[in-house]
A and B are shown apart, each in its own frame.
Chain A
């Protein structure tokens, strides 16, 4: 070689080149996917280990409940919220709305910096400029002596900030702010105040024997969803002596579907019923008014008397005389001596303190419309969306205000009208607190550095104050946090100590005292042959959830419709009007009119149509804008007078497919959701034969309690044979110890209320893409794309690994007659991890196989996408990636920047063209195993659980190792209510369902 001669290449250089080329080929050649960079920390932050989660305790601010939550933070970013097990209200559970908070935090449409209006558009600006502008405007207003006319609309919150805000406003000579919450059940609050002297007494379902709900949807979001649901499910789990539920209302809501009896009283006839029940009126009169048989009413009265102090009568009625009705309902409790037993004014919830009524907002609107308001602030509240046209045109009135400032984080309808945007932090980014049950204060701490260039409103207010010599002295604190700590009982040390507690007693400022809000005067009922029932969506509320794809994609628990508005109409009425599913119906009330496709529903009175609030945004980001219709347009008065509407219904010529995840609402006797009557369970009557769950004609498969599939013995084929030689991982002596385990799950249908929190939890834990956004559709022709919201879901392509099936039993001839007596079965359905999985042998490439610990494993990067597994799955729980939902370059990308920050690093984002399904949260299983091994000990029983089980506010789902009798699941699997779905197919599932328990109708005349 001539290298020594100095011609050619020197050896060292040669090696360099070799190394370089080697590296490049390695980098380039390794995969078709993008090659990412991994940069280790230079200076390691304290107490963070890359790849290991930290949990920050904070307080959920998505609704007035203020549950304690734990934010799972990975490498400085919250990726998931869980209930705080130590917190009195959430007890480790969490609802869909709470889980979706991270999508508000990482929402791509959030304001990314302060904005200022130039002409018709809002342009980004700097904080200095923005604050200077605000200070200048404030100065002008004050110098002109108009400070008294300033309006501040704040989202309702009960805690320290409202007080702080009012102090600031007062210091500037401005009136106190208006605390706006269109969802707050104002009438109920007012009635409670009158009747119990507490805005929101505690409800003790555990002590209840009979719950009578007058439209109080305590499982749909009325009041405090999570604690109510936890208590309700626990109480119902007592099978014998469990509280019975009678639901009175024109529409059978989710709460109604969970009731043992539905009494479909005419809207507005509740008072008459109360009168009859409290002895102030006759059953006959009540029957006359409500259309309910007198016998039923008498039976109900008898049942109430029987329940005595165990009675819990709740009133959620809105509209005409709602307050009076509420007080009458309270009388029922009082008569039975239930106050203090089931209704606990002492243990009330402070969340509604300081709430403003719509009347206050209306007054402010009039001032604005008159043009006397020089300056208006809005923070979080979105009256431009929630103010019914009949109650005044908010946008117009707001437009008359000289200068409008928004502290809102999202570009909602109201913020878009403003001249200056000073975006607030998301609550996961900020300090604060919120009042919860019995005056307890939940503290709130940042879980990450702000995602965008935003500032906490508290800080902004202090900074602005500092700019004004007159005020500067009043605000020595550097920012809201230090101000807060300064005010906190016990100061800094007290605060630090308090942070570690789920909730604390003392508060920095006395709760803001404001007169109890009173609902607006009952509007004219209007005319028309139909009652129009407008209700808040259990998933989207009044529309504040509409910008979160998880909540849009989550099917409504009752109608199972997503990404759409719909009108509920009874089959018999539909037949009369010649309406089929999806036919457009126009509802016209005194307030206005909306048009939406029809959903034919058993659970609504034939003379009533129902429509949910929440959709119909004209702004509020890409996920909300242009989806559905805004039902607030129907209201004749303010948002607190939704009830008692009447209207006309006209059938439109056109129709559009429903964005529903429901195939058939009937289970055709296939025994997917099974039930047993209480009597049968108590052995007082014979249980129905298995005919109702076995497919007729097959040899009957009598259920042997527990998992028919032992420790994967059958699932291991010949490896179960002790003589077998090489057992690989399946060997009991194998280091993985997997062979000793059998992961399994029990789902108690007697507890499940169908709330669907498990579904959202699964989306959050397993990086499941949402596919319904209007931009995610497919090409209908080379030139035209399907841009209907939910286009992919119309094609049945939703990806929910766990879905909540809702089957109806009974009322089979609903087309001809109206029957209130039908049963609902909610069945959470996910991969059953069959011992003899039909999906496994058909896969040509071993992309799915059976792990020794009983899991049905799906290997994404081996899958070629033949989809044979899905064809052969009787449960239909496998989901295919039809598009590159995880590819930022694709229009179907499900996590537009920065939403991908919430992805769980422990779970692969599946590529285009592969199959996916429930994994029993295998990442959690392996993490727990590794932890146990690294700590050198056996895994403790119930050491961890899956995301769905963890979130479930009914505690219906239990996960664990069925091979180890110390785990709860191993005991539950032997419950006498246990059964497998499609047992007759010999799939030997690892999921055991416990039959729903059907209680007798409390107020059935026959039984008395």
Chain B
């Protein structure tokens, strides 16, 4: 991980006012301080228990809704044929999208040597794992006979009956499960040295034993570090195309169908950009309160936020561009069904959803052109909530209006989610935050070992050397 060796001439200088690829941590003096600060974030508080309680309650509300729905049937949800997909698929895509920022930050930015990733990537990676865990539930919730979901898996059975590998849904199964496995592995591998740190600081014997096992007996030896670095590099190299593939595959669920509004070749890049966009928003939603409550302002500095804000601004423009291209193609294609559908989406039946999407995803992020706002955590937090909302509605606008206004006018319809749908939406947030809250108090939310890379090591004589 020899990515961002400290630039000696910068040591001790208060950080520059402009975020750069290798963001410094001027307020961090030495290795021990890193250990102190990060380990200080662990340990339980009343606030934390309160938050966990709320999360668990929300999750239970979703769980009971599920049992109710399994007993009665999907009719209890708001489905209104021909709108055969609704809230569950929307929320599925929403969470998969969230899940993208983590791996993007930890893998792609790693390959790009973007230093500002260091202090946020652990939290983002955890977010990824939990978001994908959440998303993975929804296809099962959504199908008519959830107790048969395993028929989508290529498991050996006595009739050698396998799934249809031509179906985008099977691609989904492969993409999502691979993504969950790899991102979990990636998270854990990164954690090993940090768990070793906790282990060595731990006094309680039982906890020490558990941590020793989790750390796999890591000893910080040069051999371990050497292979670790290589493995980490290749994991990053694998995760990078994986991130891009997963949301492309999810977009195939729509692009492979011939439904007007779905059948578009722009979907893969458009979805990936949207995913990164929403993912970064969720990183803000999580990281901005966290840096405050955990007193980590000097790790997640304004420079970090500034840098992420630029990513958000960029992806927002990519997404916006995709929206406009969709409209253009609809007009340019001359396909009447396509044209009438888009008109109905933006100015007809579904105008309100479409305009919520355009406002939150295209208009509001333009505020990030201003550096003041880029460096204003409060605004970024508010904006992140709007972007989350907007991205949920983007998926709504993709799924529902398309199905409600297809080729066959006799079967045009509408859609209103039911109370059951809402219970699942709430439940999904409960499930996600339950896991995240459990995580932040058990394991370091920042990569201790990597932070130490940024901090300059102690020297006997002066500041020479150490830089090639």
Contact = CB atoms under 8 A, between A and B. Distances in A.
Contacts of B164: 841, 843-846
Interface string A849-887: 000000000000011111110111011100111111000
Contacts of B333: 697
Contacts of B84: 867-868, 870-871, 880
A778 B148 CA distance: 24
B168 A874 contact: no
A864 B75 contact: no
A874 B258 CA distance: 8
A781 B333 CA distance: 44
A797 B75 contact: yes
Contact of A663 (B168, B336, B413): B413
Contacts of A865: 74, 143-145
A982 B173 CA distance: 32
A829 B72 contact: no
A695 B408 CA distance: 12
B409 A871 contact: no
Interface in A460-487: none
A985 B258 contact: yes
Contacts of A779: 72, 76, 419-420
B463 to A, nearest CB: 61
A862 B168 contact: no
A662 B258 CA distance: 23
Interface residues of A, number: 61
Contact of B73 (A868, A879, A883): A883
B367 interface: no
B386 interface: no
Contact of A866 (B72, B142, B412): B142
Given A672-B408, A698-B335, A866-B169, A871 B259 contact: yes
A670 B76 contact: no
B73 A670 contact: no
Given A866-B143, A883-B75, A892-B75, A663 B411 contact: yes
Nearest to A846: B164
Given A697-B333, A842-B167, A664 B73 contact: no
B80 A796 contact: yes
Given A666-B409, A695-B335, A871 B257 contact: yes
Contacts of B413: 663, 796
Given A796-B82, A872-B258, A664 B144 contact: no
Contacts of B168: 842, 868
A880 B72 contact: no
Contact of B257 (A698, A805, A842): A842
Contacts of A805: 410
B75 A882 contact: yes
B110 interface: no
A872 B257 contact: yes
* Chain A at the B interface: SS class: loop
Contacts of B408: 663, 670, 672, 829, 874-876
B170 interface: yes
Contacts of B181: none
Contacts of B142: 866
A913 B144 contact: yes
B334 interface: yes
Given A779-B76, A912-B73, A695 B337 contact: yes
Interface residues of B, number: 52
A81 interface: no
A870 B145 contact: no
A872 B410 contact: no
B255 to A, nearest CB: 12
Nearest to B86: A867
Nearest to B168: A842
B72 to A, nearest CB: 7
A1004 interface: no
B234 interface: no
Contacts of A913: 73-74, 143-145
A236 to B, nearest CB: 24
A714 to B, nearest CB: 16
B270 interface: no
Interface in B345-370: none
A868 B76 contact: no
Contacts of B82: 796, 870-871, 876
A582 B422 CA distance: 28
Nearest to A985: B258
Interface string A801-813: 0010101000000
Contacts of B253: 868
B418 interface: yes
A868 B336 contact: no
Nearest to B253: A868
A879 B81 CA distance: 8
A696 B336 contact: yes
A797 B80 CA distance: 7
A696 B334 CA distance: 6
B407 interface: yes
B328 interface: no
B403 A871 contact: yes
Given A697-B333, A883-B73, A874 B144 contact: no
A941 B380 CA distance: 74
B229 to A, nearest CB: 40
B302 interface: no
Interface string A876-914: 100111111000001010000000000000000001111
B151 A883 contact: no
Interface string B423-457: 00000000000000000000000000000000000
Given A663-B410, A882-B75, A695 B258 contact: no
Contacts of B151: 844-845, 862, 864
Contacts of B76: 778-779
Contact of B258 (A838, A868, A914): A838
Interface string B3-25: 00000000000000000000000
Most chain B CB within 10 A, of A666, A780, A846, is at: A846
Interface string B140-165: 00111100110110000000010110
B340 interface: yes
A863 B144 contact: yes
Contacts of A862: 151
Contacts of B418: 778, 780
Given A795-B80, A881-B73, A912-B73, A863 B145 contact: yes
Interface in B30-55: none
B143 A872 contact: no
B85 interface: yes
A805 B407 CA distance: 14
Interface of B: 72-76, 79-82, 84-85, 139, 142-145, 148-149, 151-152, 161, 163-164, 166-170, 173, 253, 256-259, 333-337, 340, 403, 406-413, 418-420
Given A781-B419, A797-B80, 15 more contacts: A664-B412, A672-B409, A696-B334, A696-B336, A697-B335, A842-B167, A845-B164, A846-B163, A866-B139, A868-B168, A868-B169, A879-B81, A881-B73, A882-B73, A913-B145
Shortest beta-carbon contacts, A-B, top 6: A865-B144, A697-B334, A913-B144, A882-B75, A663-B412, A664-B409
10 contacts: A664-B412, A779-B76, A796-B413, A829-B410, A838-B257, A842-B168, A844-B164, A845-B151, A845-B164, A876-B411
